[in-house]
Amino acid sequence: MAETDLHMTSSIDQCQLIELGKHHHPNGNLTVVENGVSVPFDLKRVFYIYDVPGGEERGGHSHKTLKQLIVAISGAFDVLLDDGINQISVTLNRPYQGLLVAPGVWSKQYNFSSGSVCLVLASEHYDEADYVRDYNEFKKLTSCKISK
């Protein structure tokens, strides 16, 4: 599938909040994330973002094929999702919820609370060629949606 085909068919409607299993215990809660079970793809990479200075943003790109599940495992932050036509902002503040981000959707994280930790589960290993980091290029790749 060509790069533009991926972006043509992607929309923020393909992004969704996923409830991860929450097990309540008197001595503390437990959330389990299982490859291909609670996460709707096979995990290839896991990373986390922390100590984000006030007012700073993270992300600000889209992926051609990579899927992500973003979780606020501590604190809170907002995620902007943009498919080239529509935008929506989602607040993540529960460690038992993850936001599934589809390939071809521009996303950025912002409004990080003090001490927040952003966990990202990814469907692919790191590949710089999979990133679209320039918003104008992203808009060009998604401009064919308007004519549909």
Q: What residues are labeled active site?
A: 61
- Spell 113-137 as b/e; 16+ CB within 10 A means b: eeebbbbbbbbbeeeeebebeeeee
Q: What are the residues whose beta carbons fall under 8 Å from the beta carbon of 90, sequence distance 6 or more?
A: 15, 17, 78, 79, 81, 99
Question: SS3 of 15, please?
Answer: coil
d(CA 98, CA 19): 7
Cβ(108)–Cβ(58) under 8 Å? yes
